[in-house]
Amino acid sequence: MNGSDSSTTDSASGTGTGRRRSEATRDAILTAARERFASDGYERATIRAVAKDAGIDPSMVMRYYGNKEGLFAAAVTVDLKLPDLTALPREELGRALVTHFLDMWEENEVLTALLRVGVTNDAGAERMQAIFRAQLLPTAHAVCPDPEQVPTRAALCATQLLGLALTRYVLRLPPAVTLPREEAVAWLAPTIQRYLTAAHPAA
């Protein structure tokens, strides 16, 4: 469908390293794309701006990634690296998850990019759903008592964790930004703990 065929006779080097000569450029493009998507969202992150940041011509972006959608798909790939929660004391699940999420959000800007794009772009929103399904659901499944409640409980965790990221890293609501990391953890950990392990509340 698109022209992003990576079947261009790989291993072009004779010395043995499998890296293409262009790989540095490809990486520069992806890094610049992540920064732009994270700070500007999908529409305002123009291919021309990404190319300028990467120090190359816009047409190179097209050649390597087909089109803008392909660039986004290549630049924003998320692995939440969720820890094995079964190895933890049960009462520390909430704290572990919150600290891990804060780590991931502060590690690089790819999660900010995903959230900013997901809000105004269908492909971005679907990607977030896929990550939820493939990464958060299984983790919740490992610690939740009733399998039938897993989607609900995982979604509740998502509301609180994404809400924190939204206010702190995207909207930059001042009190959420200045809130010390330790204090955020102390407040949110019991919430996540309850969403994962507490009995279903009377509705």
Partner DNA sequence: TGTGTTGGTCAACGCTTGTTGGCAACGGTA
Partner DNA sequence: TACCGTTGCCAACAAGCGTTGACCAACACA
Rounded Cα–Cα distance for residues 94 and 185 (Å): 9
DSSP 8-class letter at 80: -
166 binds DNA (CB under 7 A): no
User: Is 46 a binder of a second copy (CB under 8 A)?
Assistant: no
Residue 65, φ and ψ in degrees, nearest 5? -125, 10
Q: Decide whether 2 or 129 has the Cβ nearer to a second copy.
A: 129
In angstroms, what is the minimal distance from the CB of 196 to DNA? 40
Letters for 61-80 (x = contact with DNA by CB under 7 A, - = none) are -xx---xxx-----------
123 near a second copy, rule: CB under 8 A: no
**Which lies closer to a second copy via its Cβ, residue 147 or residue 201?**
201
161-169, long-range: CB < 8 A, 24+ apart: 161/97, 161/98, 161/101, 161/188, 161/192, 162/115, 164/101, 164/188, 165/101, 165/105, 165/111, 165/112, 165/115, 166/115, 169/105, 169/111, 169/112, 169/115
> Cβ distance 196 to 144 under 8 Å?
yes
Contact at 8 Å (CB) between 130 and 79? no
Nearest to 67 by CA among 1, 113, 131, 121: 1
Q: Return the number of the residue (50 or 114) whose C-beta is nearest DNA.
A: 50
- Is residue 75 within the footprint of a second copy (CB under 8 A)? no
Count of chain residues binding a second copy (CB under 8 A): 51
| 156 contact, one of DNA, a second copy, none, CB 5-8 Å limit per kind | a second copy
Smallest gap from residue 16 Cβ to DNA (A): 10
Return residues touching a second copy (CB under 8 A).
40-44, 115-116, 118-120, 125, 128-129, 132, 151-152, 154-156, 158-164, 166-168, 170-176, 179-180, 182-183, 185-188, 190-191, 194-195, 201-203
Return residues touching DNA (CB under 7 A).
3, 8-9, 12-14, 20-22, 24-25, 45-49, 55-60, 62-63, 67-69
